[in-house]
Amino acid sequence: MSDLILQYEDGNEMVINMGPQHPSTHGVIRFIIRTDGEMIHDAEPDVGYLHRSIEYIGEKCTYEGFMPYTDRVDYVCAMTANHAWASAVEALANLEVPIRGEYLRVISDELNRISSHCIALGAMAMDIGAITPFPYALREREYINDLLEELCGARLTYNYHRIGGVGWDMPQGWRDKVLHFLDRFEPIIEEFNRLITNNVIFVKRLGMMAPISAKDAINYGLVGPNLRASGVDFDVRRDMPYSVYDKFDFEVPIGQGAMGTVGDCWDRFWVRVEEWKQSVSILRQALDQIQETPQGDFWNKPKRLKPKGEAFSRIESARGDMFCYVVGDGTANAYRTRFRTGSFNAMQTIREYSKGLMVADLVALIASFDIVAPEIDR
């Protein structure tokens, strides 16, 4: 399907299918492109190729049994999806999490955020022709994968968080390994900036491309780095603090328009680079403060979980504000499960902001939103 081209009757436009197997759609997503030569007239997203009825599955599993499925809500940053489900059920069941468990959640979330941004930034650079930054970013992601594997036994879909805490405490010596990684990663961020972020070709390619104003970003429902790149100063971790985020000092990077216009593709790239730095800062504070917590007390395991009522949670995932809503009817299964994610809303902006771009620039626009397919099809 990705190679299908149909000529319009008037001979001036073509319809081109980009995807669902195209590597630069970042998943099995299809775009129906109307183009006159290289100029895009319309790019209609066609989703549904990865639909797995995950919300329906959440209503057929027990609360605890659904946790591994939440890894599939966003398999690039699965920890935050674990966290969203656990927090929603804990609010529903009025269950308190041990303080050490909260710190371990934050530590695992922020490591996964760095890892997710490695994929986003490396892939975006590669999508527009810069091959070298991608293996650089993957190298750092592999270090994080090793750390998370030592923490919970998995490298991608973790099933680490639990309703009431986390599954395991950090192993002996693991804290020092994380600190060692942070010590070597911080200088690499600056190396990455010299390599690609401030590269003159990269800047000229992305600066001024598809800028989204703060008003439009809010109206379209953009969240996370995509919202902040448009100059909207909002982060769930700071403005609606959950877990132990209120105990940390960190900044919220917002788009400055330094290489073009606020909210352009370069700003969306740059904000994620700056979030690397803030995640490093949060991790250092969390690793310092966790030493004050009692060892071994990381999971308040519920004996009987049959809550009734409704509750929700909001988690700042790598792709922004992840909303999880759950309704309990007094049985071991949820009556209703609902996830709201950042990628689905970001998809609707592509049709509007791709008009007038070149076909090659559509790849950069899609990549700048850091879209992952499982966040779209649930």
**Whether the predicted pLDDT of 9 surpasses 50:** no
pLDDT at res. 10:
56
Checking if the pLDDT of 125 tops 60, the result is: yes
Strands 39-46 and 30-36: antiparallel
The per-residue pLDDT for range 166-222, each reduced to its tens digit, is: 999 999 999 999 999 999 999 999 999 999 999 999 999 999 999 999 999 999 999
Q: Where are the domains of the chain?
A: 54-349
pLDDT class of 331 with cuts at 50, 70, 90: very high
Binned at pLDDT 50, 70 and 90, residue 302 comes out as: very high
Q: What is the mean pLDDT of residues 123-130?
A: 93
Q: Which CATH number fits domain 54-349: 1.10.645.10, 3.40.50.1820, 3.30.1330.80, 1.20.1070.10?
A: 1.10.645.10
Token representation of residue 256? 């400055």
Paired with 322 in beta bridges are: 315
Residue 1 has pLDDT above 50, yes or no: no
| High-pLDDT (> 90) share of the chain, % | 85
DSSP character string of 145-190: HHHHHHHHS-SSS---EETTEES-PPPTTHHHHHHHHHHHHHHHHH
Average pLDDT score over residue span 108-132? 95
Banded model confidence at residue 26, pLDDT cuts 50, 70, 90: confident
pTM: predicted TM-score of the whole model, two decimal places: 0.94
Mean pLDDT on 286-295: 95
**Most distant CA pair in the chain: distance in Å?**
73
Amino acid, single-letter form, for residue 45: P
Query: Cα Rg for the chain, rounded, in angstroms?
Result: 21
Helices marked H in the chain: 54-60, 67-70, 78-93, 99-127, 133-152, 174-192, 200-206, 214-219, 224-229, 236-239, 265-289, 342-353, 359-368
d(CA 348, CA 293): 44
**What pLDDT, in 10s, does the model give residues 261-271?**
999 999 999 99
Mean pLDDT of 369-374: 91
